[in-house]
Amino acid sequence: MAATAGVLLLLGLWTPLAGITIAIVGVWVFFVCSAHSLTAIIVAVLGATVAMIGPGMWSIDAKLYGRKHLQDPRR
């Protein structure tokens, strides 16, 4: 499951879903395996960050659905 989410992230396909999946797997590893706790926390935080930021410019998601740009509301 985590490997599939990693491949989806590399391709830029279904980025929010893949990021959330990686974050959930990271939290699960944190609670199950205490030996890799720092690595699991970093993976979970990075997965959640990617899920919130969204796909990049060259991703499949951007090609299929368009890229969303953040605009300054004062302009």
Sign of the dihedral defined by the CA atoms of residues 28, 33, 37, 40, in that order: negative
Contact status, residue 54 vs residue 61, Cβ threshold 8 Å: yes
pLDDT at 63: 83
pLDDT at 25: 92
Radius of gyration of the chain (CA): 14
Greater confidence (41 vs 62) lies with 41
**pLDDT above 90 as % of the chain:** 32
Is residue 20 scored above 90 in pLDDT? yes
Report d(CA 5, CA 60) in Å as an integer. 14
> What pTM was estimated for this model as a whole?
0.79
Q: Token digits for 73?
A: 């509301």
